[in-house]
Amino acid sequence: LKAQTETPFDAFVTDCQSRVEKALDACLPPEDAPPTLLHKAMRYSTLNGGKRIRPLLIYAAGTAIDIGLSRLDGPACAVELIHAYSLIHDDLPAMDDDCLRRGRPTCHRAFDEATAILAGDALQSLAFQVLTRHPSTTSDPAVRLHLVEALATASGSRGMAGGQALDLASEGRQLELLELENVHIHKTGALLRCCVQMATLLRPDLDPAVTRRLDRFAKCMGLAFQIRDDILDVEGDTRSLGKTGGKDAEQNKATYPSVVGLAESRAMAAQLYDQAMQELERFDGNADLLRGIARYIVGRQH
Amino acid sequence: LKAQTETPFDAFVTDCQSRVEKALDACLPPEDAPPTLLHKAMRYSTLNGGKRIRPLLIYAAGTAIDIGLSRLDGPACAVELIHAYSLIHDDLPAMDDDCLRRGRPTCHRAFDEATAILAGDALQSLAFQVLTRHPSTTSDPAVRLHLVEALATASGSRGMAGGQALDLASEGRQLELLELENVHIHKTGALLRCCVQMATLLRPDLDPAVTRRLDRFAKCMGLAFQIRDDILDVEGDTRSLGKTGGKDAEQNKATYPSVVGLAESRAMAAQLYDQAMQELERFDGNADLLRGIARYIVGRQH
């Protein structure tokens, strides 16, 4: 029973979530194919009803520049596989040591630590396989290659993995705001920015000024997303988050609320939202989904 | 002071080892670039004087089909980065729990577990970055894309990571010979086979019959390599291996010696060597380096 107040953006979210769920299901190896335990763990950690913010961002950015949804399925799956692998590894005892993720036991709790490490490793490989193989992405191998390069760069030591390393190194240490911003830009920002970048890579004919505006939009929203995450960790309870609330403070992690306070954190997220909106000013109605994503990111309660 | 009995193959090994060492040094991020600890760990675990069997196999296979060495540097680095990441993760406490690798403390001992997990993750991303970017590989993006696909497939859940999962699942269980062969084909064989495959992908004009012969050569040698590894773990002492000897028996791992005995293991490795040599029969002198690699793999003492 759908609520009568469902907006076009709500419908887009629901449609794209089920769209990427189906696409992920198709590109993950079947559970009954050996090695079955590894494949079970890969599916368990990916097909678990995540919010799919990264795929949504790809579909919304693609729509803003007139790319059909089916061309975006490959990049959407690939980025979500990278995200899923990073969550598995981040939750490991040697990292954030978390037992709950999306309301269910984390991968190393549901299976075992070795399987969790390998499932993460294999999901990363799969992400690149999907980019090289997904049939509907593009017929131009040069474009595909750019997608691989963009995702590999965003995932690596100067992107997401590097951000996680900076985050771990910051534990128990009081950071300056600029240092903290640097952690967030890498840890979460790089992959979110890569989502929009992959969409624009599918349109090599795009006006470079448009590409730059969309990139700046993505940069603002990437940082806003992580600030919102920090705020939610202070505000939220474990049930609504689907992961353990209050972990940041407990682990002595540097967060926006701990560095600039809760009110200022909210103000900064709002300011980044305004900046992001400005980047979209010259776009027509096609960018409404991107505007919706931005509102969704800044307003989300979990 | 070089021994006077140095053969052309010895010279090739020395040259290619220093060649790939230099190429790896150039594609790894500098130690002083942030995040410095992560980059130190990535370099520590890659630039450590490994035997570089996989790069050697690429250079030898490439030479057999007239590909210049510089075109092979990118694939050689990429496969060695994947190999280095897999060793870091395999050595983790939750996996083989090893403290020694190539005569030095393993990555999680020299740094810490979280850094080791992230260094492995980032090395995997870097491997794919290198394939997309290394300037001398090819000017054809379709060929590059095939390299990415081949390496991602060989590394993933149906290749190396899957083999490691099968290996862990076999601990403490008596395996049939065919099951054990299946573990080995995936755990070590997939990546070694991929080396030869990447070389042939750089020659899309190659007679498919030649490609198939080289692939069968690689398949035989991949299995022979792992059988030799199993034998060495029984025979070798920790010092000459550069890693802890006798670990397989201690961890109740299924190995060729434990399943068919030491003498039969040696006979099987010799038989695979003969098969591999037969695949090269129709090749001319260009395949001498591949013949040398095969002898090296079957005869190696560490």
- CB nearest to B155's CB, from A92, A125, A156: A125
Query: Is B153 in contact with A124 (Cβ distance < 8 A)?
Result: no
* Predicted TM-score of the model (pTM): 0.95
Confidence check: pLDDT of B21 > 90 = yes
- Closest residue by Cα to residue B64 from B289, B243, B293, B244: B289
Burial class (CB in 10 A: 0-12, 13-18, 19+), A259: middle
B158, B152 in Cβ contact below 8 A? no
CB of B133 less than 8 A from some CB of A: yes
- Closest residue by Cα to residue B128 from A108, A161, A215, A138: A161
Confidence check: pLDDT of B33 > 90 = yes
Confidence check: pLDDT of B101 > 60 = yes
A86 neighbourhood in chain B, CB within 8 Å? 121
Query: Is B157 in contact with A117 (Cβ distance < 8 A)?
Result: no
ipTM of the complex: 0.94
Residues A120-167: tens digit of each pLDDT: 999 999 999 999 999 999 999 999 999 999 999 999 999 999 999 999
Residues B155-201: tens digit of each pLDDT: 999 999 999 999 999 888 888 999 999 999 999 999 999 999 999 99
Average model confidence (pLDDT) for chain B?
A: 93
CA distance B234 to chain A (A): 25
| Contact map slice: A 162-201 vs B, CB within 8 A | 162, 164-166, 168-169
d(CA B91, CA A131): 30
A107, A45 in Cβ contact below 8 A? yes
- Decide: helix, strand or coil at residue B7: coil
d(CA B79, CA B84): 9
- Kindly identify which residue of chain B lies nearest to residue A156, measuring between CA atoms: B122
d(CA B184, CA B180): 6
Give the count of alpha carbons within 13 A of B20, CB side only. 28
B201 neighbourhood in chain A, CB within 8 Å? none
A187, A160 in Cβ contact below 8 A? yes
d(CA B244, CA B233): 8
d(CA B74, CA B151): 12
- Decide: helix, strand or coil at residue B105: strand
